Amino acid sequence: MARHHLSRSAFERLQAELHDLSTRGRIEVANKIEAARLLGDLSENGDYHAAKDEQGHMEGRIRHLEHLLDPDNHEIVEAGADGTITPGTIVTILYEGDSEDMAERYLIGHPEEKTDALDIMSPQSPLGAALLGKAEGDVVEYQAPNGVLKVRVLEVEAAG
């Protein structure tokens, strides 16, 4: 099984989320379920069913985080300091034939690295895998579903 590559900040954020869901979150949902039970008939109790549904989603997220944060399943990566593209770097690319104002900027990393400012590109995706190890100025070809595409690496920077 492939190990998940996480930045230190994402790892710490996910640990905090797991702790919060496992403690405060479980207590809060249990209180909602108990309050809904007091309303009477459970078969037609919308509050009860909503609370149980919330509990199921939360428990699924807890299991996902526990799996992801298991030391056997993840590796904390630091962005490459030498200017090459590694998980945890931000890359600006330009597709062949596009104008400079169409450049795209991505964080190479795990989907849990989500950020409001950048889209995430998985290092296991066709383009993400082709970009790994490349540097500013390199032209990269990769196999896309509609044929071979070329991109030029405009900038590589360490994620903050």
- The CATH number linked to 57 is 1.10.287.180
Would you state the pLDDT for residue 160?
A: 63
What DSSP assignment string belongs to 77-132? ----TTSB--TTEEEEEEETT--GGG-EEEEES-GGG--SS-EEE-TTSHHHHHHT
Would you state the pLDDT for residue 159?
A: 74
Domain end position, chosen among 75, 99, 129: 75
Q: Which domain holds residue 34?
A: 4-75
Is the same domain home to 96 and 29?
A: no
Would you state the pLDDT for residue 99?
A: 92
Is the same domain home to 53 and 109?
A: no
Would you state the pLDDT for residue 43?
A: 78
Domain end position, chosen among 75, 96, 131: 75
Is the same domain home to 83 and 65?
A: no
Tally of structural domains, the chain: 2
Question: With a cut of 70, which residues of the chain have pLDDT below it?
Answer: 1-2, 79-81, 160
Domain end position, chosen among 24, 40, 75: 75
Would you state the pLDDT for residue 24?
A: 97
Would you state the pLDDT for residue 34?
A: 92
Give the tokens for residue 66. Answer: 């526990």
